[in-house]
Structure 1
Amino acid sequence: MKRRAWLKWGCAHCMLLSGAALAADWMPPNRLGRPDPASDEGGLWALLDREETRVRRSPLRMRDDGLQAYLEGVVGRLAGEHAADMRVYALRVPMFNASMAPNGMMQIWSGLLLRVDNEAQLAAVLGHEIGHYLERHSVAQLRDAKSRSALGTFLAVFGLVGAVGALATVGGAYAFSREHEREADRIGVELMRRAGYETGEASKIWGNLLAELKAAGVEDPAQNALFATHPANDERRAALQALTQQDSRGETREAEFRALIAPWRFSLLEDELRRRRFDESIVLLDRRLASEPGDPELLYFRGEARRLRNRDGDLDLALADLEQSVRSGREPAVAHRSLGTLHRTQERHDAARQALQRYLERAPEAPDAAFIRQTLEELPS
């Protein structure tokens, strides 16, 4: 088995080394104009424009001028003159996803923004999607699909269907070929290189995401919505490492990215816990705390994830996280509510009362304030 795995990696390595040479010589096409409205492709554009109107008006859209300008800047840095034909939409959907429709509509979901560590990693994902767009992979694939149901699936991939839980089904039914994925990876890395990004960050994304799925006991990443439109496996990670190891000098722009996400981080982590995929969330939070040790907000969310998961040993670990968060003096108010709930569960009534009272002091107008007051009244003396 080890020999087979080594041979598989070696094949990927050799193939990507040749691919690296091809990518270095690759030149982007001229700007892709709109097709003739009377053509089949022109009809498809009209349908996609209709889907884009839904996305533009969606309540899921993250309407933040600073965020919008930042994301458009990254796309412009990668896509060059083609960026003029692209529209970027950030959507508050707590799963890892970005997509690029052939009419130039790009969606970036908040689960992606939460999981990348820096701008270079974000650029790796967006560059991959731009690669699909520039090479017209989705149009080629649609031409191979003859049925009306295939057209519906195609539109669903670039619409909002994924936001209501069908991404895994749709993505599995409409997956790019292996060769298209490899080509998009090669182009994405080349776009990163030309834009001055650290290309070595590209392979790290998939390693981080695979660690989340392995913690959740998922053997086949393709079966998980997280990878429905972004196939990820050890072979792909090795191929990306081979593609980027020759020249990986560049910028990560980590500080700029963290500053961008800072106003959104608490809300996005709340969305993450609502997914109730606690094994995956804890791996994500472990990684964040490794780079930001002692961060009281991250400690609160990891403690809350452990409290909600409630497996053997989880409550003790949750207590440690929540108490460390509170000791910092910079904890979010809800850390006291979680701490009080945990103490109450374990019948430490005095400690529960103290924590819940502190929560009300910090957040007297909280939506659940009346419920917490009632809980305090019901606590045994």
Structure 2
Amino acid sequence: MERRTFIGTCGCCAVSALLGEGWAPPARIQRPDPKSDEGGLWALMDREEERLHQSPFLMRDAALVAYVQAITCRLAQGHCPNVRTYVVRSPYFNANMAPNGMMQVWTGLMLRAENEAQLAAVIGHEIGHYLARHSVESLRDAKSRSAFAHMVGIIPVAGTLAALGLVAGAFAYSREHERAADRMGLELMAAAGYPPLEASRVWANLLAELQAEKDWTGDASKRSVLFATHPPEKEREAKLEAAARAMGKEDLDPRTGALRQAIGPWRRAWLEDELKRRKFGESLALLGRLTRVDPQDGEASYFLGEAYRLRAAEGDTDRAQEAYQRAAALPGAPPEVHRALGSLHRKAGRLPEMREAYARYLAARPEAGDAEMIRSYLKKGE
């Protein structure tokens, strides 16, 4: 659908009524005068973009980056030539877009998205901030440009994950800005052919993860910077859902298979990154959701077992074994699931089961680094 046609529909009117005044996309943003406050902000972000090029956390898989760039362009439309998309390997849920057109998408977000539409919802929200030039408004609301420059300039080491996080957090928008970006994001999603209802599901899923952590206090703003300045979580979820349903378009393809194929070569590594966070409540909520969305997902079931094993709370050994056994019968489970089962059987003294599990592991990974150790267990168990 053409952008001008979409804006004229009653669906857009419904969004405007629920989330604020109507909005139309601006002309392509031109580079500002370097002597202006906005020009200074662009210069700062240009410097951070150069640092990002050297970051060890930057994903350099051409196919993966092209996939995310294509989604960004599908949403940004005529602004696509101004946007440069970078995929950053970090297990945290995040995406951000700087005023100079630098878009960061973190792998923790891609891992959590159930389909391409959910990924597009977050990217579209960030494009909304960019198109509305919210970062410039935030800068002008600050006490002085030098204060903002100091905040961005304190980045300690170029390319570190902490540095990338600091840049990502530099744009803490007001709740009014967040509501406006939500509305723009829904419009961009629908215009690009994505079902807008997926936007509210992203928010609900992230909140459910935070609530699953043992130190949950009931205040999401203290657990994630994404909730600190955004509208109250329940309000936001409700408004996004109501606006999306008013727009209709629920029959649009969320492109689940496209996302899964794009991240497939990296998904296991990203799941390993997730467990290294040692936020097992959040990880279990994520992995439990992935296995519910796709009960045939052997890889997610294996990592669900790993999360229980590593958490090691009361009853977790039995939960881990159940998840491993389920994974072992499903496609996509790594051979390590048999090693994990073998270890549980060995500790419980179930020697026949141990031998069977270890034999299956060695058959799949005969040259594994721990193969000799596993063979020694088999000899001792004979």
Match of 1:40 in 2: 37
Instruction: State the shift of 1:69 in Å.
Output: 1.8
Match among 224, 239, 258 for residue 256 of structure 1: 258
Deviations 1:137-184 (A, max 9, x none): 112112222274543434679x978823994x8877752111000011
Does 2:315 match 1:313?
A: yes
Gaps of 5+ in 1: 1-14
Residues 322 and 160 of structure 1: CA distance in aligned 2, closer, same or farther (over 3 Å) = farther
Match of 2:17 in 1: 18
Residues 255 and 53 of structure 1: CA distance in aligned 2, closer, same or farther (over 3 Å) = same
Contact map agreement 1:142 1:154 (CA 8 A) in 2:
no
Deviations 1:265-313 (A, max 9, x none): 2221111111111111121122111121132212111111111112222
Q: Read off the aligned partner of 1:360 and give its amino acid letter.
A: L
Partner of 2:246: helix, strand, or coil? coil
Match of 1:224 in 2: 223
Does 2:279 match 1:277?
A: yes
Instruction: State the shift of 1:192 in Å.
Output: 1.1
Does 2:236 match 1:236?
A: yes
Match of 1:334 in 2: 336
Instruction: State the shift of 1:329 in Å.
Output: 7.0
Pick which of 143-152 and 269-278 moved more.
143-152
- The two structures, once aligned, show a CA RMSD in angstroms of 2.9
Match of 2:122 in 1: 125
Instruction: State the shift of 1:204 in Å.
Output: 0.6
Contact map agreement 2:57 2:159 (CA 8 A) in 1:
no
TM-score (norm 2): 0.84
Residues 375 and 272 of structure 1: CA distance in aligned 2, closer, same or farther (over 3 Å) = farther
Match of 2:63 in 1: 66
Q: Read off the aligned partner of 1:316 and give its amino acid letter.
A: D
Mapping for residues 343-362 of structure 1, pairs under 5 Å: 343-348=345-350, 351-352=353-354, 354-362=356-364
Contact map agreement 1:90 1:108 (CA 8 A) in 2:
yes
Contact map agreement 1:100 1:129 (CA 8 A) in 2:
yes
Q: Distance in 2 between matches of 1:122 and 1:156?
A: 31
Match of 1:57 in 2: 54
Mapping for residues 195-214 of structure 1, pairs under 5 Å: 195-214=192-211
Does 2:83 match 1:81?
A: no
Q: Distance in 2 between matches of 1:162 and 1:221?
A: 26
Match of 2:8 in 1: none
Residues 262 and 227 of structure 1: CA distance in aligned 2, closer, same or farther (over 3 Å) = same
Taking only the aligned residue pairs, the percentage that are identical comes to 47
Q: Distance in 2 between matches of 1:244 and 1:162?
A: 38
Partner of 1:246: helix, strand, or coil? helix
Q: Read off the aligned partner of 2:149 and give its amino acid letter.
A: L
TM-score (norm 1): 0.85
Q: Read off the aligned partner of 1:243 and give its amino acid letter.
A: A
Pick which of 236-245 and 180-189 moved more.
236-245
Q: Distance in 2 between matches of 1:333 and 1:173?
A: 43
Does 2:151 match 1:178?
A: no
Residues 95 and 327 of structure 1: CA distance in aligned 2, closer, same or farther (over 3 Å) = same
Contact map agreement 1:67 1:260 (CA 8 A) in 2:
yes
Partner of 1:311: helix, strand, or coil? coil
Instruction: State the shift of 1:245 in Å.
Output: 1.6
Instruction: State the shift of 1:213 in Å.
Output: 1.0
Q: Read off the aligned partner of 1:238 and give its amino acid letter.
A: A
Does 2:305 match 1:303?
A: yes
Contact map agreement 2:296 2:331 (CA 8 A) in 1:
no
Residues 60 and 49 of structure 1: CA distance in aligned 2, closer, same or farther (over 3 Å) = same
Pick which of 359-368 and 216-225 moved more.
359-368
Residues 99 and 368 of structure 1: CA distance in aligned 2, closer, same or farther (over 3 Å) = farther
Contact map agreement 2:169 2:225 (CA 8 A) in 1:
no
